[in-house]
Amino acid sequence: MGLPIAVEEVTKEFRTDDGTVTAIEEFDFDIEAGEVVTLVGPTGCGKSTILSIILGVLSPTSGEVVVDGRRPYDDFYSFRGEIAAVFQEDRLLPWRTAAENAGFGLEALGVPEDERRRRVEEWFDTLGLSGYENAYPQELSGGMRQRVGLTRAYVTDPEILLLDEAFGHLDEVTATKLREDFLSLIDGGEGRTTTMFITHDIDEALMIGDRVLVSRSPGKIIDRIDVPEGLHEDPERHHEYRTRILDSLR
C-alpha cells in the first residue's frame, strides 16, 4: 500500500565558497500512502535536493521529513528495501548484465539468486525487456537502459518510489511510451506504491500526478494543484492547467 511521507517546513542550505545557498525554503507537504505526487519546476528550484532528503542521503538544515514515524536520514538503514529511486542517468554498472543490474537491489537485500532471476524476468517481461537479460548496458538503447533502472526499483516492491527526471534524457517518443507504461503499472497494482515524481516538464507532471506541486527557483513551493481524473485526455482542460502552472512560474 505504501507509506505516507510528511515533509514539514523543510529548509536546506548549502555552504559554498561564496556564502550560503538556500536550495529549498520551507517545503511543506504530505504525500498520502499510495498517492502519486509530482513536483515540477525549472532547474535549480530544489527538486533533486528534496528527493535526496526524502531518500535520506541529505539531512534538512531545519524542519523534518517523517516517514512511518521514522526519519530517512537519521534512520537510514531502517528503510532498506522500503524506498527505491530512479534517476535521470540510468546509473547502471557497465560490467554487469541487464539482469544483474536489475537484481542489484534484491542482491543487497540478500534475496537468493534463483529468486532474483525469477523476479527480474517477470519485470523484464512486463517492461518489454525479455531476451535482453544477458545484454550489457552499453548494448542497450537509452530507453531500454532506463527500463532496466525502473526494474531495479520496482523489483524490490518498495513502499516508496522516488523518480528524479527519470524520463528526462530520452527522446520524446520513448519518453511518451515509458510514461504510458509507468501509468498503467502504478494504476494496475493492488494498492499503489507511494510515489514522488520529479520533473521540469509541465505536461509530464500533469499526466502522471494525482497532485502537482509547483516550485520556483530559489526553491519555494508556489502552487498546489489537484489533477482531475483523465485530464490528459481532455486537451482543452489540460491546456488550462498547463497555462496556470506556466503563469505561476513567470
DSSP 74-121: TTGGGGTTTEEEE-SS----TTS-HHHHHTHHHHHTT--HHHHHHHHH
Phi and psi of 122, rounded to 5°? -60, -45
Of the candidate spans 28-36, 47-55, 78-86, 105-113, the one that interacts with ligand ADP by CB under 6 A turns out to be 47-55
Q: Which listed range, 25-33, 37-45, 84-92, 203-211, lies at the site for ligand ADP (CB under 6 A)?
A: 37-45
For the bound state, the minimum distance from the C-beta of residue 60 to ligand ADP, rounded and expressed in Å, comes to: 13
Nearest distance in Å: CB 244, ligand ADP: 20
Instruction: Say how many Å lie between the first and final Cα of the chain, rounded.
Output: 37
Distance of closest approach, residue 48 Cβ to Mg ion, in angstroms: 3
When binding is defined by CB under 6 A, the residue of 9, 20, 21, 113 that contacts ligand ADP is 21
Q: Rounded to the nearest whole angstrom, what is the least distance from the CB of residue 158 to ligand ADP in the complex?
A: 21
Cell of 226: 489537484
Q: Is 174 in the site for Mg ion (CB under 5 A)?
A: no
Enumerate residues 45-64 that contact Mg ion by CB under 5 A. Answer: 47-48
Separation CA 150–CA 91 (nearest Å): 11
Q: How far apart are CA 161 and CA 87, in angstroms?
A: 11
18 makes contact with ligand ADP (CB under 6 A) = no
Please tell me whether the peptide bond between 228 and the residue prior to it is cis, using omega within 30 degrees of 0.
Answer: no
Q: Which is nearer to ligand ADP, 193 or 199 (CB)?
A: 199
* Residue 23 binds to ligand ADP (criterion: CB under 6 A): yes
Q: Is residue 222 at the binding interface for ligand ADP, with CB under 6 A as the rule?
A: no
Closest to 27 measured CA to CA, from 237, 173, 224: 224
- The kind and range of the H/E element at 66 are strand 62-67
Number of residues binding to Mg ion, judged by CB under 5 A = 2
Q: Given candidates 10, 37, 40, 46, which one binds ligand ADP under the rule CB under 6 A? A: 46
Q: How far apart are CA 66 and CA 53, in angstroms?
A: 11
Q: Compare residues 47 and 238 and give the one whose CB is closer to ligand ADP.
A: 47
For position 48 contacting ligand ADP by CB under 6 A, the verdict is yes
CA dihedral over 67, 73, 75, 76, signed as positive or negative: positive
Binding residues for ligand ADP, rule: CB under 6 A, are 14, 16, 21, 23, 43-49, 219
